[in-house]
Amino acid sequence: MTRRAAKGFSIEMRSQDDSRGLPADRVADAPSDNWVYRALPRALWPYAQLARWDRPIGWQLLLWPCWWSAALAPQWAAPSAVHTGLPDLWDLILFLIGSIAMRGAGCTYNDLVDQDIDAKIARTRSRPLPSGRVSPARAKGFLVAQALVGLLVLVQFNPFAILLGIGSLAVVAIYPFLKRVTDWPQLGLGFAFSWGALMGWAAFWGTLTVSPLLLYAGAVLWTVGYDTIYAHQDREDDALVGVRSTARLFGRRTKTALVLLYGGAIVLFALAYRVAGSGSAGPSWPAYAGLLLGAVQMSWQIRSLDIDDADDCLKLFKSNALFGWIIFLGLVFSSLWMLSFPRLY
């Protein structure tokens, strides 16, 4: 038996192990006791799985750059006035709804594009489309419904933010095809998932400055980092079916790559804060303390990572929700500090 055939046999056996004892209406790469299965009618389960409602980490990671930007924007030392208020609550709610809707639409679109590939990979072949529990036509209808919710959210913002949001669709449309042509599909995901770093600022000010661009660049590096960790779950299967990724590209050098990616993200975030202040107001010490604590959390991810342990990779990937909270709360406490001691600014 050739090495390639042996690996194929190994993957097939692993697929049988993954599906052993798994109910036909569940998916292998999601919790089987999720709220979806307790609260929704069984007929809706495949659609919830398409939208990944049973895996909230995705929309949380999409949401964080939006909320970071929305929290940073009021602290900009604008030419006309110094704004040190808290993020707009209505904007935060809109970004929450939009992130859930658009992450679901993006996952549905991605599954439509990748259904043939998903059918060949142990972790994904139980998803609704490759398993035949949802037809492509119905999945497309569900995609449109979610996109309409996202559009309804988008039109609540100012005209500049609306146009900026529409611009993100080109990046989203291209992303699923990148894994076929480049070792850097995670970079495409970073461009798409980090777009909120621009949107939060645009929703508040109706324009962009250098600060949100730096925040966006940092978020892109952060996304490439955490999705590289995630992609290590499928590294061997991806090699057999021809799917490319930074996990395969970096291989045993992944920890070194993460030091550069995560370290670069922290530096760019710090620069975004500094530029927002322009030497006067801008984020105060709690924001920088949050960055320091976030850097510690990232260091823990790198030290703990075992790229050959799929469960460990998934755990560390999910821990980036905590990183998002750390950065956001640092910015919120920065605003509270500035409001409490305005004479210092």
Tens digit of pLDDT per residue, the chain (345 long)? 444 444 443 333 333 334 445 666 777 767 777 888 889 999 999 999 999 998 999 999 999 999 999 999 999 876 656 566 889 999 999 999 999 999 999 999 999 998 888 888 877 888 899 989 999 999 999 999 999 999 999 999 999 999 999 999 999 999 989 998 999 999 999 999 999 999 999 999 999 999 999 999 999 999 999 999 999 998 888 888 888 999 999 999 999 999 999 999 999 999 999 999 765 567 889 999 999 999 999 999 999 999 999 999 999 999 999 999 999 999 999 999 988 887 666
Domain count, the chain: 1
The pLDDT value recorded for residue 13 is: 36
25 lies in some domain = no
330 lies in some domain = yes
106 lies in some domain = yes
Kindly report whether the global pTM for this prediction surpasses the value 0.85. Answer: yes
18 lies in some domain = no
Q: What CATH number corresponds to the domain at position 266?
A: 1.10.357.140
The pLDDT value recorded for residue 339 is: 85
15 lies in some domain = no
Question: Residue 251: which domain range?
Answer: 45-344
The pLDDT value recorded for residue 70 is: 97
196 lies in some domain = yes
39 lies in some domain = no
265 lies in some domain = yes
Start-to-end CA span in the chain (Å): 72
